[in-house]
């Protein structure tokens, strides 16, 4: 059954008004809370190395650190990195926030990887190189970043490491599952939530309908969390 996570006290810290953000940095939303709920069920993270790819304001990185993990937070956006550093300082949590891409971490290994990547289908064939929209726009099929993660994330995981990834069903849930399985990971959907279309999807309804990504009367989006475990 589709559901939204009901925040407990630590999850309530992911509310946008609890985190400091520079202009253009992605604010925690339903996808952030859904992924945080999946992370919570992984249990205590004490002593584990966790990587948060596309950290934004650092909400998920902070939650992982709250659960005891040693956290590396990664983002291509300089404002996002500084927002994460400030929020970690305000929360009294130790997080290594780095600007760059996953290729910059070659040679490192993690026990768990989190990601709330850009996944929204957009009229442009490639994601924007700058501006707030690069936090959500992901090419015409919404898979530009998802496919890249499928190629790179498994190599960053230790044996039996776990990837937790949130995306929209509009960008192809089955495609992500098949991609991760092909990379030698055991992948499944663990969480679903159905939410009303937000401002971004509402702004491109005609285009989404013309692409037959949504029906003429659709008003709700399904979010999914995919859990993949390295063999």
The pTM for the full model equals 0.91
User: Which residues, at least 6 apart from 103, have a Cβ–Cβ distance to it below 8 Å?
Assistant: 152
Q: Is the pLDDT of residue 181 over 70?
A: yes
Q: Is the pLDDT of residue 152 over 80?
A: yes
Q: Is the pLDDT of residue 29 over 50?
A: yes
Tell me which CATH homologous superfamily contains domain 9-230: Vaccinia Virus protein VP39 (3.40.50.150)
Which of helix, strand or coil describes residue 124?
coil
The predicted structure's pLDDT at residue 6: 39
Label the pairing between strands 49-53 and 70-75.
Answer: parallel
Average pLDDT score over the chain: 90
The residue ranking higher by pLDDT, 231 or 221, is 221
Distance CA 205, CA 148 (A): 26
């Amino acid at each position: 059954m589709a559901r939204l996570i009901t925040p407990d006290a630590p999850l309530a810290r992911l509310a946008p008004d609890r985190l400091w953000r520079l202009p253009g940095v992605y604010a925690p939303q339903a996808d952030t809370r859904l992924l945080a709920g999946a992370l919570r069920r992984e249990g205590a993270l004490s002593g584990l190395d966790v990587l948060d790819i596309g950290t934004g304001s650092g909400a998920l990185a902070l939650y992982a650190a709250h659960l005891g993990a040693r956290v590396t937070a990664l983002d291509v956006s300089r404002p996002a990195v500084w927002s994460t550093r400030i929020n970690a300082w305000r929360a009294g949590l130790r997080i290594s926030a780095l600007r760059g891409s996953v290729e910059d971490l070659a040679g490192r290994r993690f026990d768990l990887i989190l990601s709330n990547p850009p996944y929204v289908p957009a009229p442009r064939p490639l994601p924007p190189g700058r501006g707030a929209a690069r936090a959500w726009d992901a090419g015409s099929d919404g898979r530009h970043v998802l496919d890249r993660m499928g190629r790179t994330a498994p190599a960053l995981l230790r044996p039996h490491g776990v990837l937790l990834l949130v995306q929209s069903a509009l960008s192809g849930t089955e495609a992500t599952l098949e991609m991760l399985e092909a990379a030698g990971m055991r992948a499944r959907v663990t969480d679903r939530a159905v939410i009303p279309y937000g401002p971004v999807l509402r702004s491109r309804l005609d285009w989404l309908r013309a692409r037959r990504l949504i029906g003429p009367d659709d008003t709700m989006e399904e979010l999914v969390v995919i859990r993949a475990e390295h063999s």
